[in-house]
Amino acid sequence: MNSVTEPVDSLPIPDTPLAVLQQVFGYQSFRDGQQEIIDTVIAGRDALVIKPTGGGKSICYQIPALLRAGITIVVSPLISLMKDQVDTLVANGVAAVYINSSLSRDVMHQHFAAMHRAEVKLVYVSPERLLQHEFMERLGNLQLGLFAIDEAHCISQWGHDFRPEYAMLGRLKQWFPTIPVMALTATADEATRQDMLSRLNLHDPLIHIASFDRPNIRYTLVEKFKAIEQLQRYVGEQPGLCGIVYCSSRKRVEEVAERLLSRGHKAAAYHAGLPLALRQSVQERFIRDDLDIVVATVAFGMGIDKPNVRYVVHYDIPKNIESYYQETGRAGRDGLPAEALLLYDPADVGRVRRLLENSDNPQQVQVELYKLNVMAAFAESLTCRRQVLLNYFGEYQREPCGNCDICLDPPTRYDGTEDAQKALSCVYRMGQHFGVLYVVEVLRGADTQRIREHGHHKLSTYGLGKDKSQEHWVSVLRQLIHSGLLSQNITRNMVLQLTEAARPVLRGETRLQLAEPRVVRVKAKDKSDAVLTRSEDKALFQALRQLRKELANEADVPPYVVFSDATLIEMARFRPENEAQLLGINGVGHRKLERYGAAFLAALSQAR
């Protein structure tokens, strides 16, 4: 399907927000806060909306766009995100277009003409395009209803993704003082929120901050050890499910993707250094369920509106909590069970810190180092992951969540004083000139040329730890770093050095509690079992997915534009027998009933 609006085919617009929600978008009731936001903006007031990924942000401006007079301009940072949103709107019978460099001159002129004839209700543009003099002149000749600024945290210097091109958006209120502005984001701490309000010049805005909790996402961390084997084991436990694996460098992306491909997984690499056509192909195949796994740098995902991503793996630690939250939030957007897995190595933190310190902007370095330290503290925490995550965003949850690795499999503690003494003594006797893995080799009595050349096989600590595994000693050394008994010298290739706090432990004056290492995650229950329990329902769900894929291919759209997994699961559970019952399923609106209802009712009938 071409994402050119088809105004003659658009649905008549109902006259109330709830009627639009039900008849156009196919949902029966509003989520928390949506009704107030929509009513406020329809009345012409500015708004700042902070809702988690998958929390229903788009509805908050799409419904006012349909009910306010004039055109709504949606500022979106990525071309792929615009196309996804417009494809979905057009599938629901809404007149919408996007304007960006991917369009031919003829198509762009068609879109401009439709705007001037008032045949469209929503126009998606990038901030750069919006602020071009020619485009602003066009807007001056149109009746405008609303400006919606997506990913609005990009305007803030305190945000995790500051973009200079967003900075000029503060002038919109000067140029169009009577047009309401809605700023939307999924991630913003208090400093970022205040900066957004100030820079966008919002006037007496409604400020809506939804819960940051994504209860369907299970947060899991394991200590990184032979990471590629850990990853292969993990994705092997998720056959046929869609996932994203984030790596910190292009080189690592390609290496990891190649290893997964060699094991028979439907995987592909994605990073900014690949040709545009290849990147577009990978993205399109993933959206259409022709790829299961994309291994990517953070360049991938911001423009992806794919609801059925079942897991996100961070092969390397993100630079800040906001990035971690945003990237893990790409899993489970359909509300079904999903998992976020982080492979953690403190040495990764040191490498990121070194990169950040090379910046020539001291103020920005200070902000970014603070955020990195918070991310490391999250990874090293032995309390509920969700509590730590929500606390960062100012949302205090008293009870542990019951859906993270700490809650489901609390760390086993033991008296680690003797282990600590062995490890600290070994570091000291080796002259404090070596890193974690080499110290572990000496502790375990490895017979290598390097050890013999340095004479470390003659040390009294050589082989002291041969009764325990490599994973065990790596974990011990990391915990000694976390506890402040050891430090890693960033300027000298992360060599280990004793701190003053190590002395009482070495002398036996202090006992030390350590945790058993966790290098293998506890398996979650099958994600589909959490929703569908009867085998016949599961079989019907798979049949409906196959039908959806066929219809999507015919229409040249991603499968979720037809119906989401959550909608198909409802169909499989409740088995509607007629159009009226099918309309009662969440995600089935009048236009989708018209287009796809007969095919799905036929499939449901065959299953009875």
Residue spans per domain, the chain: 7-209, 217-408, 413-515, 535-607
Q: Find out whether 445 and 463 touch, Cβ atoms under 8 Å.
A: yes
Dihedrals phi, psi of 576, to nearest 5 degrees: -60, 145
Packing angle of the helix pair 34-42, 57-67 (nearest 10 deg): 30
Can you give the pLDDT at residue 455?
Answer: 96
What contacts 317, CB < 8 A, 6 or more positions away?
248, 342, 344, 345, 348, 349, 352, 375, 376, 379
Q: Does domain 217-408 have CATH number 3.40.50.970?
A: no
CA distance 585 to 570: 7
Distance CA 43, CA 3 (A): 30
Strand, helix or coil for residue 171? helix
Residue 15 banded pLDDT, cuts 50, 70, 90: confident
The pLDDT value given to residue 2: 44
Number of H helices, E strands in the chain: 27, 17
State the DSSP string of 414-444: EE-HHHHHHHHHHHHHTTT---HHHHHHHHT
Residue 397 Cα to chain centre, angstroms: 21
Spatial distance between the Cα atoms of 82 and 129, rounded to a whole number of angstroms: 13
CA distance 38 to 285: 35
**Whose structure tokens read 């259409």?**
288
- Is residue 193 helix, strand or coil? helix
Under 8 Å between Cβ of 225 and 474: yes
pLDDT band at 11 (very low <50, low <70, confident <90, very high): low
Lowest mean pLDDT of 165-179, 391-405, 444-458, 535-549, name the range. 391-405
At 276 the pLDDT is 85
Residue 319: count other Cβ atoms within 10 Å of its Cβ: 21
Q: What is the pLDDT of residue 144?
A: 97
> Mean pLDDT over residues 557-578, rounded?
91
* pLDDT interval class at 52 (50, 70, 90): confident
Q: What is the pLDDT of residue 1?
A: 38
Bridge partners, 220 (sequence order): 341
Residue at 13: amino acid letter? I
- Write phi, then psi, for 64 (nearest 5 degrees): -55, -35
User: What is the CATH code of the structural domain delimited by 413-515?
Assistant: 1.10.10.10
Please provide the size of the chain in residues: 608
Distance CA 190, CA 158 (A): 10
Residue 482 has pLDDT above 70, yes or no: no
In the chain, % of residues over pLDDT 90? 58
Task: Note the pLDDT of residue 9.
Answer: 53
Quick: pLDDT tens for 27-46.
Answer: 999 988 999 999 999 999 99
pLDDT in tens, 142-188: 999 999 999 898 888 766 677 888 888 999 999 999 999 999 998 88
pLDDT digits (tens, 9 = 90+) for 454-473: 999 999 999 999 999 988 89
Average pLDDT over residues 54-68: 93
Average pLDDT for 516-541: 67
Is residue 518 scored above 80 in pLDDT? no
How high is the pLDDT of residue 524? 53
Q: What is the CATH number of domain 535-607?
A: 1.10.150.80
The pLDDT value recorded for residue 23 is: 93
Helices 470-482 and 436-443: crossing angle in degrees, nearest 10, is 130
In whole angstroms, give the CA distance from residue 588 to residue 24. 9
User: Predicted confidence band at 7 (pLDDT cuts at 50, 70, 90)?
Assistant: very low
Is residue 337 scored above 50 in pLDDT? yes
Whether residue 23 contacts residue 67, with contact meaning beta carbons closer than 8 Å, is answered with: no
| CA 23/CA 109 separation, integer angstroms | 31
217-274 confidence digits (pLDDT tens):
999 999 898 899 999 999 999 888 999 999 999 999 999 999 999 999 999 999 989 9
217-408 and 413-515: identical CATH topology: no
Mind listing the pLDDT tens digit for each residue in 81-101? 788 889 889 989 999 999 998
pLDDT-derived band at 301, boundaries 50, 70, 90: low
Distance of alpha carbon 99 from alpha carbon 131, whole angstroms: 13
d(CA 451, CA 211): 54
| Three-class DSSP category at 198 | helix
Average of per-residue pLDDT across 401-414: 87
Lowest pLDDT segment from 147-161, 280-294, 315-329, 562-576: 147-161
Residue 396, pLDDT score: 75
Cβ distance 124 to 86 under 8 Å?
yes
The span from the CA of 104 to the CA of 97, in Å, is 13
Compute the mean pLDDT over every residue in the chain, rounded to the nearest whole number. Answer: 88
Residue 528 has pLDDT above 50, yes or no: no
pLDDT > 90? residue 4: no
Q: What is the mean pLDDT of residues 282-298?
A: 92
> If you average pLDDT over each of 150-154, 290-294, 370-374, 587-591, which comes out highest?
290-294
Residue 544 has pLDDT above 70, yes or no: yes
* Cα 154 from Cα 186, distance rounded (Å): 11
515/222 Cα distance (integer angstroms): 13
User: What is d(CA 444, CA 440) in angstroms, rounded to the nearest whole number?
Assistant: 6
Q: Which residue has the higher pLDDT, 188 or 549?
A: 549
Burial-class residue 213 by CB neighbours within 10 Å (0-12, 13-18, 19+). middle
Instruction: Name the most confidently modeled range: 173-177, 294-298, 312-316.
Output: 312-316
Q: Please give the helix or strand (H or E) that residue 244 lies within, else none.
A: strand 242-246
The answer to whether the beta carbons of residues 390 and 397 sit under 8 Å apart is yes
pLDDT of 20 > 70? The answer is yes
Structure tokens at 267: 């995987």
Residue 17, C-beta contacts closer than 8 angstroms, at least 6 positions apart: 30, 35, 38, 39, 42, 63, 67
CATH number of 7-209: 3.40.50.300
Please name every residue paired with 71 in a beta bridge, in sequence order, or none if there are none: 144
Between 545 and 398, the more confident residue is: 545
For the whole prediction, is pTM greater than 0.85?
no
pLDDT at 371: 86
Beta pairing partners, 181? 147
User: Could you tell me the pLDDT band of residue 531, with boundaries at 50, 70 and 90?
Assistant: low
**Residues 6 or more apart in contact with residue 540 via CB below 8 angstroms:** 571, 572, 575, 604, 607
Query: In 344-359, which positions are buried (b, 16+ CB within 10 angstroms) versus exposed (e)?
Result: bbbbbbbbbbeebeee
User: Is residue 527 over pLDDT 80?
Assistant: no
Mean pLDDT of 1-15: 55
In whole angstroms, how far apart are CA 158 and each of 150, 202, 203, 210? Answer: 17, 18, 21, 20
Give dist(CA 219, CA 524) in Å, integer: 11
- Which pLDDT score, from 0 to 100, does residue 522 have? 56
**Which has the minimum average pLDDT: 55-69, 327-341, 457-471, 480-494?**
480-494
pLDDT over 60 at 8, yes or no: no
Least confident of 281-285, 496-500, 515-519: 515-519
